[in-house]
Amino acid sequence: MITAVRKPLEEIMGFAAPYSRVLLLGCNECVTVCYAGGRKEVGILASALSMAFLKEGKKLDIVEQTLERQCDPEYVEEIAQTIDQYDAVFSMACGCGVQTVAGRYKDKPVFPMVNTMFMGASERQGVWAERCAGCGECVLGRTGGICPVARCSKRIFNGPCGGSTKGKCEIDPGVDCAWQLIWDRLKALGRTDLYSEIMPAKDWRSAKDGGPRRIVREDLLS
Amino acid sequence: MSDFEPIIVAFACEYCAYTAADMAGSLGMSYPPNVKIIRVPCTGKVDTLHLMRALQKGADGVLVAGCYLGDCHYKNGNLRAQQRVGYVSRLLEEIGVGGERVMMTFMSAGQGNVFAQVANEFTEKIRNLGPNPVKLGAGKAAA
């Protein structure tokens, strides 16, 4: 999922300062699962913001709504009838959702309420860790299911580097060395032969280095 | 400020604190009428949102009373409640309402005296803190 964390309230209050009525818009997808911007988080932030303003003797009218997905135009269309009632939209979705809303309602200020972090998986309740960097050319089949792009600090393809000590990365003793994990897993699978193959230099154009990316599926176009 | 009577919302677990409050009454121990008890099946059911809404809607203090750690009927609901109370406390600090307006406490079903004591002490603490600043500000905002 795409993970996110709520922005500091001070920053959010700065966004809200010029307005008197805002739509606080949650998203039912990734940010709900990582407890950053779902219906419940919308309620908590609305309460906190409302109290923070009232304490200063100011009133901020906050209307709470949560869409099924903010990154799909058909769901964003649901607020078309009511959007004129608000001075601004405070989106609790990831950056994709914020931009979809801003793109649809061009004359309405849209502000992000969360900092979008990474594509991650849940390690346990309350902990998420980066697992995919969206590089556009998956190598997990050759690395025992452990990603050297997302989980190696240097993103190297023929590791480990000299900074690997006792299975940990030199950047932080709390960070596993991805290449140690890859080696251990390949060994367990009896596929250390994959490790012996030198991987060629990666073509990063399939990742972000080739500019903004799009997927066009001819079979689905309408 | 001396005539200020705080509104305290107490989320009480039915397996311990709610029974303890009942016992306090049975034993003739008094605790302030300021404390409005909401019975919950476990403090683990008390969400961050419930705590925030209570304060937003006018409570001056919120108490969450659950079983002793290790004694939860649902294993670790009280531990989760304690973590949420900590989160709300930090959030209240962040917005300047004061983190001490929310508190977690633990007791067993037989400790009517503990419930009465905690209710008295927390009410007194909130009385000394004064009214929820949100209510004061709301008056100004409406003016």
Query: Could you tell me the residue range of the domain that residue B61 belongs to?
Result: 8-142
pLDDT digits (tens, 9 = 90+) for A65-121: 999 999 999 999 999 999 999 999 999 999 999 999 999 999 999 999 999 999 999
Q: Where does the pLDDT of residue B83 fall: very low under 50, low under 70, confident under 90, or very high at 90 and above?
A: very high
pLDDT digits (tens, 9 = 90+) for A195-219: 999 999 999 999 988 899 999 999 9
* pLDDT tops 90 at residue B127: yes
Q: What is the ipTM of this complex?
A: 0.92
How far away is chain A from the Cα of B41, in angstroms, using its nearest Cα?
A: 20
| CATH number (domain holding residue B82) | 3.40.50
* Spatial CA neighbour of B43 closest among B59, B64, B68: B64
So where are chain A's domains? 2-118, 133-210
Is residue B110 in a domain? yes
Quote helix, strand, coil % in chain A, to nearest 5: 35, 25, 40
pLDDT digits (tens, 9 = 90+) for B43-59: 999 999 999 999 999 99
* Domains identified in chain B, total number: 1
Task: Say whether residue A56 is in contact with chain B using an 8 A CB cutoff.
Answer: yes
pLDDT at A156: 95
Q: Strands B8-13 and B35-40, how do they pair? A: parallel
The fold of A2-118 is Rossmann fold (3.40.50)
- Pair B13, B65: CB distance under 8 Å: yes
* Subunit contact B134:A43, Cβ cutoff 8 A: no
Is residue B125 in a domain? yes
- Provide, as residue numbers in chain B, all residues whose Cβ is less than 8 Å from the Cβ of A59: 138, 141-142
* pLDDT tops 70 at residue B1: no
**Torsion region of A196: left, alpha or beta (phi above 0 gives left; psi -120 to 50 gives alpha):** alpha
Calculate mean pLDDT across residues B70-97.
Answer: 96
Is residue B1 in a domain? no
